[in-house]
Amino acid sequence: MNVLQILPELNVGGVETGTSDFAKYLVAHGHRSVVISHGGSMVAALEKAGSKHYTLPVHKKSLWAILKSIKEVRKIIRQENIDIVHARSRVPAWIGYFACRKTRAAFITTCHGYYRSRLFSQIMGWSKLVIVPSQVIGRHMIDDFKVSSNSIRYIPRSVDLEKFNIPRQRKTGEMKCTIAIIGRITPLKGHTYFLKSMVKVVRNLPYAKIWIIGDVPKKKRAYKQELEILVQRLGLTNNVEFLGTRKDIPELLSQVDVVVLSTVTEEAFGRVIVEAQAAGVPVVATKVGGVVDIIEDEKTGLLVMAKDTDAMASAVLRLLRDKAFAEQMAIEAKKRVQEQFTLEQMASRTLAVYEELLNSTNILVIKIKAIGDVILAVPSLKAIRENFPKAKIHCLVGHESRKILQHCPYINGIIVYDTNDKGWFKLLKLSQTLRKHRFDKVIDFQNNRRSHLLAFLSFPRESYGYDNGKWGSLLTNPLKKYRSDIAAVPHQFQLLDAIGIKHPSNPLLELWPSDKDHEHAKNLFESEWLGNCTNIVGINLAASSKWETKNWPIEYIAQLCDLLAAKSIRVVITGMDKDKALAQQLLSLCKSKPANLVGKTDVMELAAVIKRCKVFITPDSAPMHVAAAMQVPVVAFFGPTDATRHVPPAKKLVVLSKTLHCAPCYSARCKIFTHACMKEITPEEVLTKIQALMEAGT
């Protein structure tokens, strides 16, 4: 596995040490390790251990620096053939996240801090899996950053036991003792409270040594000066020593009697605690954040409330005076470190998460328009599922077509987009929902400006669609060469071919009405005295209100109903609420009495109704696709639209159309005012086709 870790700098610190230790482990176990940072004192050792280091300004927060670094990091990902990009801080996470787009690399973060819930920090929760070093940080990411609990992976930080396996220097006499605080010197680490607590300790043990190990960032030198002044004011000048940043922490710990962690804010983990425990040093720590995951109070350490200087001093004195208690606590703590916080455990669990990440795929299919179009996407959904059997596949559909895929076995979920919400705010809110799914691939079968924008805003690693002049540049992989003069399903398959997804040469449509839908259809038929009838023909009255030119004349439908009745064939008419007036007009023209089910079904109930028919008659409309999906023979009328582009795949489908000079016109109004393309299809002609289909089915 080729792993790229990216962090701001490689100077001494908990995150930096963890990165270096893990890089060393990767190399030792046959993996390739690459690290990107702004550099630092640990780079030489990192490279000596076998990792490759790239120096980039990934510590800078300026937008220009981030954009420039994204290009450089993407180049490195491709050059080093990286499988995993592991970001360990916020600026590197922004860079790594977008650098992974248009590459095969997977992105993951480790949350090393208790971040404020703001836009800049949101990136730490954007990876598909999020590693947290403590339960507290995990809860923080769930509650404040809305990361799914299923995405959280708890892996505590580790310590290299060999590094801290140094014999402790034995001391005699109560007076000779050393107390240390280790870490960056910042207000969050509570150095002022530590120093104030040391006043009481020194009052009881005047010869105690107090080591402050670590230093301040260059821009915060004034804070260290404040601490030095505080040392003088508290009368601790002869006891306190500022050791600065040190690389010999294990050697120093071998001389320390108590380590204090005085952090005043939520601590992500507390690596210093584990290092001290590995070296056999008892610890006093404030009860904050991930510290409670490491220390069991009174057994593996002593916990005090943050800023409680009296309690901190009392705890330190207790350990210094009660040698037996301190030694037993150190033994228990070291035992727990060996059981839970070793480098081997951390690294192996991290690699397991990497494997999980690489073997998981989240796919979004976009098809948000008409009902018929969504039905036509089913063969593609089936092909995607067969090629990615373990993937989590979601489909973004419109509100009216959501029921079509409710029982689809090829997807894991549906995301509904109400196309009536036209505003930008609604669109951005939807894109936020899409991002939470951490999609690896987006396949855009809708292919309009809005769908391409949603594909982009969901921030997938890969997005596919047609480069059709409708913002196709927003896709990572727009298909430039394709045919647009073919039927919908083969048209979609062109996109699958570009992705490398195999598909059947002779696909069929599918639908999955529920038992409730079938029961509803049964009740409708019984209410029309059709319960025991087997010779039933269904007729869909009209296409959508936007396409009046698709409709077969109502008087022709009436004539067909009477012709069928004369052959002892019962007729069921279907349609939407808008077609109720048309249905009444039809009934007034008919001598026979067709069963009127117009406006009495939704799309899946209609599927159950059509399933009971021997043949279904319809203009070019969604019910045509429903009938084809239910494997019911269809007679379809085509006039203003081209059958070669819109006919669905079906076992038995007869197309009736007339070759006219003006057809197909794709016009909602007949431009020559004759409607000849539909009027030339006679009821007798349709009856002949119906009878042929019924005879073929017997």
pLDDT of residue 39: 94
Highest mean pLDDT among 195-204, 421-430, 540-549: 195-204
Percent of the chain surpassing pLDDT 90: 70
Average of per-residue pLDDT across 589-599: 93
Question: Which stretch of DSSP H or E encloses residue 637?
Answer: strand 634-638
Q: At 672, is the secondary structure helix, strand, or coil?
A: coil
Identity of residue 36: I
Beta bridge partners of 477: 464
Question: Which tens digit of pLDDT belongs to each residue from 468-512?
Answer: 888 888 999 999 989 888 888 999 999 999 999 999 888 999 999
Specify the 3-state DSSP secondary structure of 158: coil
Q: What pLDDT does 297 receive?
A: 95
Range of the domain at 592: 515-697
Taking CA atoms, 394 is separated from 401, 405, 496, in Å, by 14, 10, 16
Confidence of residue 83 (pLDDT cuts 50, 70, 90): very high
- Give the pLDDT mean for 170-193: 84
Question: Which residue, 449, 468, 499, sits at the end of a domain?
Answer: 499
Instruction: Report yes or no on 434 lying in a domain.
Output: yes
Whether residues 692 and 556 fall in one domain: yes
| pLDDT value, residue 171 | 62
Query: Bigger pLDDT: 258 or 546?
Result: 258
- Inside any domain, residue 355: no
Considering the domain architecture, whether residues 328 and 370 belong to the same structural domain is answered as no
pLDDT tens-digit series, residues 271-280:
899 999 999 9
Report d(CA 316, CA 67) in Å as an integer.
Answer: 49
Indicate the pLDDT class of residue 679, thresholds 50, 70 and 90.
Answer: confident
Listed residues 308, 339, 370: the one ending a domain? 339
682/576 same-domain check? yes
Domain assignment present for residue 354? The answer is: no
User: Has residue 507 been placed in a domain?
Assistant: no
**What are 284's strand-pairing partners?**
260, 302
Q: What integer is the mean pLDDT of 339-356?
A: 94
**Top-confidence range, 5-9, 154-158, 500-504, 589-593:** 5-9
User: Is 207 found in the same domain as 139?
Assistant: no
Q: Where are the alpha helices (DSSP H) in 388-502?
A: 424-436, 449-457, 488-499
Same domain (yes/no): 558, 677: yes
SS3 category, 353: helix
Domain's final residue, options 154, 189, 204: 154
Work out the average pLDDT over 590-615.
94
pLDDT digits (tens, 9 = 90+) for 501-553: 999 888 999 999 999 999 999 999 999 888 788 889 999 999 877 888 888 99
Q: Over 80: is that where the pLDDT of 420 sits? A: no
Q: Give residue 87's pLDDT.
A: 97
Tell me, what DSSP letter sits at residue 552?
P
Nearest-angstrom CA–CA distance, 625 and 371: 9
pLDDT for residue 151:
92
pLDDT digits (tens, 9 = 90+) for 626-647: 999 999 999 999 988 888 888 8
Q: What is the CATH number for 606?
A: 3.40.50.2000
Please answer whether residues 82 and 1 qualify as being in contact, where contact means their C-beta atoms are separated by less than 8 angstroms: no
Burial of 489 (C-beta count, 10 Å sphere; 0-12/13-18/19+): buried
Same domain, 321 and 268: yes
In a domain, 304, yes or no: yes
> Residue 586: which region, alpha, beta or left (left: phi > 0; alpha: psi -120 to 50)?
alpha
Q: Is residue 669 part of a domain?
A: yes
pLDDT grade for 698, boundaries at 50, 70 and 90:
low
pLDDT reported for residue 673: 65
Is 461 found in the same domain as 316?
no
Please tell me whether residues 524 and 495 are part of one structural domain. Answer: no
Structure tokens at 571: 């007729």
So what's the pLDDT on residue 441? 93
Residue 329: what pLDDT? Answer: 96
Whether 27 and 107 share a structural domain: yes
Q: How many domains does the chain have?
A: 4
Could you tell me the CA-to-CA distances from 419 to 289, 366, 399, 448, 466 in Å, in that order? 44, 13, 7, 13, 21
pLDDT at 393 over 80: yes
- Looking at per-residue confidence, does 124 or 422 come out higher? 124
Does residue 351 belong to any structural domain of this protein?
Answer: no
d(CA 72, CA 66): 10
Q: Is the pLDDT of residue 174 over 60?
A: no
Q: Mean pLDDT, to the nearest integer, of 410-421?
A: 87
Q: Does a structural domain hold residue 506?
A: no
pLDDT at 132: 95
Q: What tens digit of pLDDT does each residue of 101-138 get? A: 888 899 999 998 888 778 889 999 999 999 999 898 99
User: What's the confidence (pLDDT) of residue 175?
Assistant: 56
| Residues 19, 72 within the same domain | yes
Which single residue is written with the structure tokens 């080093």?
A: 80
Angle at 358 between CA 357 and CA 363, to 5 degrees: 80
- 243 and 282 in one domain? yes
The 3-state DSSP composition of the chain as helix, strand, coil percent (nearest 5) reads: 45, 15, 40
Query: Is the same domain home to 214 and 266?
Result: yes
Task: Compute, in degrees rounded to 10, the torsion defined by CA atoms 566, 571, 575, 580.
Answer: 60
pLDDT-derived band at 369, boundaries 50, 70, 90: confident
The pLDDT tens digits of the residues spanning 220-239 come to 889 999 999 999 999 999 99
The predicted structure's pLDDT at residue 428: 87
Helices (H), 341-423: 343-358, 371-376, 378-387
**Number of Cβ within a 10 Å radius of residue 73:** 26
Burial label, 318 (beta-carbon count in 10 A; 0-12, 13-18, 19+): middle
